[in-house]
A and B are shown apart, each in its own frame.
Chain A
Amino acid sequence: MSFTADFILLFILVVIPGLLFKRFFFYGEFSKQFTTKESIYKSLFYSIIPGIILQLFAYWFYMTIRTSQFTNEEILNIFKELLSSKSEYSENTKLFFSNGFNYFLLHELNVFVLAVLSGHFVARLIRFFKLDIHFKILRFQNQWYYIFSGEIRDFRKFKHLKRIMGAISEINKENDPKSLPPYGDILVENGGEQVLYTGFIVDYDLNYENLNELDKIYLKGASRYRDIRPEDVKNGLVTNGSKIKVPIKGDVFILKADKVLNINLTFIPINNVEHEQSLLWSKIKRGIYYFGIYNNLVILICIVFINSSWLSLISPTFSVIVGNANFLSRLLLGFTIIQILTILMPYELTESIKYEEQEEFSEDSNVVDIELLDDDDVIDLRSGSERKVKSYIYSLKDVIFKLLFSILLIVLSYLVFR
């Protein structure tokens, strides 16, 4: 096997950054998706796409912040020469090797670091914003994670199942501070006989050859069902029909998954009653929310429709910039300012309560604030009546969203007003 200079160059420039990106993109329960068992062609192909994107982005970034002694055309010609079979190089290429090669190595190091960081955070951002749940194209291959974590219930095709399961089963979210593993009833073929095992599924292994298949299931608090024996009643074991549930002693029970016939999962809902917030704080948040809306409306009207002379009181330069801008530019500026101010505001969550389900609703949520009622509010407590409850919430996720959108608008405004 011989390596040509163009192959080595392609490998360093594109394939290595792509491989690094992939290595750090598949993390945690999805890490097996990065495997060396893939065919070399497949592995190269899937590395080339992120590799090219990273290389182009890093190149653009480098050219933006630094003044290179080589133009884009010269760099392209240097690469053309390196990729060709010519043995004589032009003056520019020689100059590149004598003066610019260190910068090229430094740039490559930056690309590798960028590949590691971007792989690490792109995957986490996809998970954080649940993009893998909403968009199939971004979904990881480990379908068992989505099944055992209960996230499969949020998939579009399971929406109807969600309705059947009811809202209360949705409380056991992955990110809940007290989320429990699912409780599984697992039917296994064992020497021509079928045995039912139950317990909390605390972990699992995937088949290394085929990531769609389970290899092992780890159960905590495992039990198995067997036929009743005469001595069972004497031993005080609980019987249920013709079968009896026998606890399996030990810390973790490991079940080989190749004989599993079917699995029934139950997700236990959790009510977190630790985070009740004071009524005063809820009222303050409601006040901030409504003041923010009023304030934003005033700012929008002032910037877009009213003569900008009043702005000179705040900043004469700002007044001149706004005064010279057209309607759409003013609108963009107004939205940018509003978006920045919105970061400080809580968001409003409206939930619907059906009073026939009130018993189950009363303390079931860890996100809904204490309900705010005005003095003249009358609650219809008849069974079947439905009411909207509003609460005002600060969350870091919401702030990050607003911050990112603000940055986008600031960049757009900068481009328009510069």
Chain B
Amino acid sequence: MSSNKILNAVGILMIFGVIILIFKFIIKKTETKLYSDDAMKVLQDENNLKKLEDVVSDYQKSGKWSKVEIN
């Protein structure tokens, strides 16, 4: 009887856990920021900014994207 109660409690906790995980995932995926946190870190670096500006400039001139590595 007591083992049944424990199993029920574990089951309910698991259901709550899964629901919370799904909600957290949905909330994270539906943020309305224009950029991610990683992207903001990238833009804080002057070198990355320069590289990205050059890539955009090349694209606007040639119509083709050139590849650049950013960290």
- B60: which A residues are within 8 A, CB to CB? 266
Query: Are A202 and B30 in contact (CB-based, < 8 A)?
Result: no
Beyond the given A27-B32, A202-B43, please list 10 additional residue pairs across the A-B interface where CB-CB is below 8 A: A30-B32, A124-B27, A177-B36, A178-B36, A180-B39, A181-B39, A220-B49, A221-B43, A223-B53, A396-B25
Cα-based distance from A200 to B31 in the complex (angstroms): 19
Query: Are B49 and A175 in contact (CB-based, < 8 A)?
Result: no
Query: Are B43 and A149 in contact (CB-based, < 8 A)?
Result: no
B22 lies within 8 A of chain A by Cβ: yes
Out of B23, B38, B52, which one reaches A121, CB within 8 Å?
B23
Cα-based distance from A345 to B22 in the complex (angstroms): 18
Query: Are A178 and B42 in contact (CB-based, < 8 A)?
Result: yes
Out of A128, A149, A198, A202, which one reaches B29, CB within 8 Å?
A128
- B42: which A residues are within 8 A, CB to CB? 178, 180
- B43: which A residues are within 8 A, CB to CB? 180-181, 200, 202, 220-221
Residue of A nearest to B60 (CB): A266
- A176: which B residues are within 8 A, CB to CB? 36
A269 lies within 8 A of chain B by Cβ: yes
Out of A30, A145, A177, A181, which one reaches B38, CB within 8 Å?
A177
Within 8 A of A (CB), among B30-71: 30-36, 38-40, 42-43, 49, 52-53, 55-56, 59-60, 65, 67
Query: Are A266 and B59 in contact (CB-based, < 8 A)?
Result: yes
A201 lies within 8 A of chain B by Cβ: yes
Given contacts A266-B56, A268-B55, A268-B56, contact A28 B39 (CB under 8 A): no
A346 lies within 8 A of chain B by Cβ: no
Interface residues on A, range: 35 or more
Cα-based distance from A175 to B26 in the complex (angstroms): 11
- A268: which B residues are within 8 A, CB to CB? 52, 55-56
Query: Are B32 and A128 in contact (CB-based, < 8 A)?
Result: no
Interface residue tally for chain B (C-beta within 8 Å)? 27
- A200: which B residues are within 8 A, CB to CB? 43, 49, 52
Given contacts A221-B53, A268-B56, contact A28 B31 (CB under 8 A): yes
- B65: which A residues are within 8 A, CB to CB? 168, 269, 360
Within 8 A of B (CB), among A9-55: 27-30
> Which residues of B pack against A, CB within 8 Å?
22-23, 25-27, 29-36, 38-40, 42-43, 49, 52-53, 55-56, 59-60, 65, 67
Ranked nearest first, the 3 interchain pairs of A and B with the lowest CB-CB distance are A28-B32, A29-B32, A127-B30
A112 lies within 8 A of chain B by Cβ: no
Cα-based distance from A179 to B39 in the complex (angstroms): 6
Query: Are B52 and A180 in contact (CB-based, < 8 A)?
Result: yes
In the complex, 7 of the A-B residue pairs with CB atoms within 8 angstroms, ordered by the A residue number, are A121-B23, A124-B26, A149-B34, A168-B65, A178-B39, A181-B34, A200-B49
- A168: which B residues are within 8 A, CB to CB? 65
Query: Are A202 and B35 in contact (CB-based, < 8 A)?
Result: yes
Residue of B nearest to A169 (CB): B65
Query: Are B34 and A148 in contact (CB-based, < 8 A)?
Result: yes
Residue of B nearest to A264 (CB): B60
- A198: which B residues are within 8 A, CB to CB? 53
Cα-based distance from A201 to B43 in the complex (angstroms): 11
Cα-based distance from A183 to B56 in the complex (angstroms): 8
